[in-house]
Structure 1
């Protein structure tokens, strides 16, 4: 069934689904927008199919605030330098080598030129935020956050003549041999079949499909919170993997962080993350510590805590701090639970009082004298304690005391489509000649595990631009 439907992006502009689009981009976040803009600038007639309503457009990009950028010298809001080698070493550390090195280095090298491109297309930046995510040397922060970036890109796309259809649910890409011949999309209860010359899929991971998460993780996943968009359910990913396109990544690997246990099930975003772990003692529901809270600087290690909490009883943890540390981190959207004594705090958190007191007493006794520096590795470590606290170890002894509950907050999953350096999707017998992928749907090629702050936006920007350019080139031939 074909029809002309109203385009909610611009008044009096009709999206004619009978039109012969050169490039259709599936998805509406950062990677999709970079692809659509690049395709349009290369002369392709381009359509974005965004599954979310306009108010929720942008996928997980709405919740971002920075991207990680290589640079050889100070530039704009970035201080000092951040070399390709250091960037790569940082990535190898968090992924423990589980990455496609060629794609990783391509993303890293290309990130430097992305900064100017982003500015040219409407993105504005601000100096790095202070606190435990102070990244003035490595990461550029968006003025107004991810929502402002998304809005800027949509304005640019509209000015370039890109058509946008919201609440357009892509259900199937029809493959014949090594080509995609059509796209099935549901819009306002009607089925449409489109036949573009080229397709870019940038529709995210499958994290909002909790049943799929549970298939991978087991029943524990039912207790996870999904800090990103509820619209990334992996429909396109599952459809393409089912058609024997090459997949990459482990379905149990994901960007999972520790977030406030009071966050909503979906779409809580970045404000629900807790940055206080380095200055705290973290215990499970039995009142026992289970990992080194001060292992490394927070931007490199914060993403491990979602998985750590997932492994605890009932998938819950508890942060305990005292008044000395309350102002050292970016606050959550929820205020901490406050108490004048540890006994009172244990009661409010429903923790075993005796065990919590023993844990804190043991930690305090293991703390040593030394210089405390909240924004860098200070070597202020415990002695004779298992697990140790390697940095920022100060006694929890100054009332009032504060606590937060921790839950696993999944941002995006790493199971995705295998691509080459041109972002072209690979089939079992070779590349799919008119299909490209960018963003979370292919990030598992580079992120085998772990995460670096801001790197997801780097992957989306770099490969979105490549995918859009390559799709337009194919469509013109």
Structure 2
């Protein structure tokens, strides 16, 4: 029997394992993926949103707690637990030295991401390097690691953890941290969550899974069925508009289409359906997957012209290119006359002031529905480009309810030795929406808390045993 069992292999799980081991506990980590795919969705990340009151090594200016909170409040529409959200925010201001101690390195943001240089610290080598650094540190500290070990059942005595099972194998521990991700790779659960729309479509059938194929929600479902308190809307998720040519799983950051705010987005009827210039892209990119999911056929098309080239991080696949709008419509197989009319009406509505993609500028449309609030410039300079978009699910928001100690709750009562971190509890903070880097902030904060509290639970158990003796 080990002191602390950690179920999961991504950022939150690794943070929990490292913190518990640093506190003196023996630790076993069970990762469902094979070694080469270890790390869950964390391998696809690239930065951490950080509160800071003054410039730091790779962070400019200041990003105080209240601004961070207001940014989160805006994207979630108030569907968040302020107490837990502020806990994440404050933890984000102190975690980086600890991360660096475990081998994580940071770099200044790349040119395509300078607009988040104040708010986000970027990992040198991206999320894969972060995951590898944590695994190296875990091995050097004597943490046991088992790959290809998906947990399918938890043994409980009331609200106390007893053991976990992976098939016929059984793992006992004095405390446990659940950090096995959401259910984004479980197509049937996604279908159930999204249901059938008024057009008779099952939207989830057209979703691509931007993250890991190993997050099927088996453990999450088991815990909810076992009576753990759940939180969050199962249809809400980190859902990004990604290149429709992306692979079914593990497309990651390179499949994201980042030119949305520089042009217009059309549905398959060649009609606009939302304000492309509503706010800065890091605060709005994760709404576009859901918006596209609500369109016919769950597909959209990002349209730009030559003026946009060089102003956004290019995706892995080149856009469809044409010398005229009519030619582009034909290549994208969109209704040509409607396509040209939509762009022509948009161009006529543009009121171009001082274009500045790093600020909420005064380039906007007038007498157009939906409006474009910022960065509105006519699409009139050849060549023209189009990117077909599909919803890309990164992680789901349905999770287990927690408190400040990351304890799993049963009927409102916190368990003494069962904790949860990462995507399995992110819905406490993210009821809907997203802002860049906050997922890693949640995973790091609650992973560290869960690991420390699991180790603390051991010492409290020992104290009780000594008192009884």
Q: TM-score band (shorter)?
A: over 0.9
CA distance in 2, matches of 1:39, 1:466: 9
Cα separation, 1, equivalents of 2:144 and 2:170:
17
Please report how far the alpha carbon of residue 110 of structure 1 lies from its aligned counterpart in structure 2 after TM superposition. Answer: 1.1
* Between 287-296 and 129-138, the greater mean CA deviation after superposition: 129-138
**Aligned equivalent of 1:225:** 208
Q: 1:203 pairs with 151, 167, 180, which one?
A: 180
Aligned mates of 1:130, 1:424 — CA distance in 2: 40
1:414 to 375, 391, 397: 397
Q: How does 1:86-97 map to 2 (within 5 A)?
A: 86-97=67-78
Q: What is the TM-score normalised by the length of structure 1?
A: 0.94
Which one of the candidate residues 197, 203, 221 is aligned to 1:238? 221
Give the 5 Å matches for 1:34-113: 34-113=15-94
d(CA) in 2 for partners of 1:195, 1:121: 27
Q: Which of 127, 133, 145 in structure 2 is aligned with 1:164?
A: 145
Which residue, out of 335, 353, 359, partners 2:336? 353
Q: Is the 8 A contact 1:35 1:200 kept in 2?
A: yes
In structure 2, C-alpha distance between the alignment counterparts of 1:164 and 1:228, rounded to whole Å: 22
1:429 Cα deviation from its structure 2 partner: 4.8
Task: Output the TM-score relative to the length of structure 2.
Answer: 0.96
Contact 2:352-2:376 at 8 Å conserved across structures:
no
| Mapped contact 1:303–1:451 kept (Cα < 8 A) | yes
Q: Give the whole-Å Cα distance in 2 for the aligned partners of 1:354 and 1:378.
A: 31
The 8 Å contact of residues 317 and 405 in structure 1, kept in 2 or not, is answered as: yes
Aligned to 1:381: 364
Gaps of 5+ in 1: 1-19
Give the secondary-structure state (helix, strand or coil) at the position aligned to 2:381.
coil
Q: Distance in 1 between matches of 2:180 and 2:110?
A: 29
Q: Give the CA deviation at 1:130.
A: 2.4
| In structure 2, distance between residues paired with 1:180 and 1:429 | 16
Alignment of 1:53-452 (within 5 A): 53-131=34-112, 134-186=115-167, 191-218=168-195, 219-452=202-435
Q: Which string of whole-angstrom CA distances, capped at 9 and with x for unpartnered residues, describes residues 145-167 of structure 1?
A: 00000000001111110010000
In structure 2, distance between residues paired with 1:292 and 1:133: 23
- Give me the whole-angstrom Cα distance separating, in 2, the residues matched to 1:132 and 1:316: 26
CA contact (8 A) 1:132 1:299 kept: no
Aligned length: 454
- 1:185 Cα deviation after fit: 1.2
TM-superposed deviation, 1:133: 6.3
Q: How far apart, in 2, do the equivalents of 1:178 and 1:440 lie?
A: 21
In the alignment, the residues of structure 2 paired with residue 409 and residue 34 of structure 1 have an alpha-carbon distance, to the nearest angstrom, of: 26
Preserved CA contact (<8 Å) 1:440 1:460:
yes
Tell me, in whole angstroms, the C-alpha distance in 2 between the residues paired with 1:61 and 1:266.
14
Matched ranges for 1:7-22 at <5 A: 20-22=1-3
